[in-house]
């Protein structure tokens, strides 16, 4: 039996960090240009550049604040279960318990009819015993449609699950190796 190791997905912060770096570079360039204009006695132009630098620094501050609040969501696929980690919350769903996996809007089902089903970015997993949970796969860096397809394949194909590790074989969920990306299509 070949093990593919850990299959845990998390959202990458690379694009946001790159944006913050570019905004910081623009802000520093604007400050330097404003200082050069003050030296050459072009005060009105220096004032305009200084105001633009303040706006650029506000963008940097907002981006850094967003990075600090970045969702700590992780989605893990294991031989015996699916695990969703969000902050301190850890949800487990054994493959045998998974009944349905859908991207359909879970709103008022009594009022909706089949041709009017609306797809969303939120994945809802219904388990045995009328229990269900939902999440946005994009917060874990996974394409919603591909995530739904992978969960259904893993639920229906025990031979495919045999390539994965057991959840119990890895003691700390936060220390596991991650597959990060902005929006990836998972495959096993």
In a domain, 134, yes or no: yes
* Residue 9 near residue 179 (C-beta atoms within 8 A): yes
100 and 171 in a common domain = yes
Helix then strand count (H, E) for the chain reads: 4, 8
Render pLDDT for 143-186 as a digit per residue (tens, 0 to 9).
Answer: 888 888 888 988 898 888 888 877 766 555 555 555 555 555 66
CA geometry: angle at 136 spanning 132 and 138, to 5°?
Answer: 150
pLDDT score recorded for residue 180 = 57
55 and 115 in a common domain = no
> In angstroms, rounded to a whole number, what is the distance separating the alpha carbons of residues 54 and 16?
20
Of the three residues 22, 48, 68, the one that is the final residue of a domain is 68
Render pLDDT for 46-59 as a digit per residue (tens, 0 to 9).
Answer: 999 999 999 999 99
81 and 170 in a common domain = yes
pLDDT score recorded for residue 164 = 82
Nearest CA among 89, 79, 40 for reference residue 165: 79
3 state SS of 90: strand
In a domain, 6, yes or no: no
- Between 115 and 146, the higher pLDDT residue: 146
Domain span at residue 22 reads 12-68
Instruction: Record the tokens describing residue 100, joined without a space.
Output: 């349905």
93 and 38 in a common domain = no
| CA 73 and chain centroid, separation | 6
Per-residue confidence band for 140, with pLDDT thresholds at 50, 70 and 90: confident
In a domain, 174, yes or no: yes
Of the three residues 49, 68, 87, the one that is the final residue of a domain is 68
61 and 136 in a common domain = no
In a domain, 1, yes or no: no
CA geometry: angle at 68 spanning 55 and 18, to 5°?
Answer: 60
3 state SS of 50: helix
106 and 59 in a common domain = no
| Residue 114 scores a pLDDT above 80 | no
Going by their DSSP bridges, the two strands 119-127 and 132-135 should be labelled as antiparallel
87 and 57 in a common domain = no
In a domain, 130, yes or no: yes
83 and 62 in a common domain = no
In a domain, 166, yes or no: yes
pLDDT score recorded for residue 79 = 85
80 and 43 in a common domain = no
Query: What's the mean pLDDT in 79-97?
Result: 84
pLDDT score recorded for residue 50 = 92
In a domain, 77, yes or no: yes
Query: What's the mean pLDDT in 10-15?
Result: 72
> In angstroms, rounded to a whole number, what is the distance separating the alpha carbons of residues 185 and 188?
10
Of the three residues 53, 68, 83, the one that is the final residue of a domain is 68
CATH code (residue 117): 2.30.29
């Amino acid at each position: 039996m070949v093990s593919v190791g850990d299959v845990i997905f998390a959202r990458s912060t690379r694009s946001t960090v790159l944006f913050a770096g570019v905004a910081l570079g623009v802000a520093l360039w604007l400050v330097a240009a404003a200082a050069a204009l003050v030296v050459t006695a072009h005060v009105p132009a220096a004032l305009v550049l200084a105001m633009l630098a303040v706006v650029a620094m506000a963008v940097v501050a907002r981006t850094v604040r967003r990075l600090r609040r970045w969702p700590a969501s992780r989605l893990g696929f294991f031989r015996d279960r699916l695990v969703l980690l969000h902050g301190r919350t850890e949800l487990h769903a054994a493959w045998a318990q998974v009944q349905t996996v859908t991207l359909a809007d879970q709103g008022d089902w009594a009022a909706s009819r089949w041709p009017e089903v609306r797809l969303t970015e939120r994945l809802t997993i219904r388990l045995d015993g009328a229990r269900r949970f939902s999440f946005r796969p994009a917060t874990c860096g996974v394409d919603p449609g591909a995530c739904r397809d992978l969960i259904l394949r893993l639920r229906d194909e025990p031979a495919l699950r045999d390539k994965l590790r057991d959840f119990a074989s890895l003691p700390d969920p936060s220390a596991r190796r991650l597959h990060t990306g902005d929006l990836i299509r998972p495959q096993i």
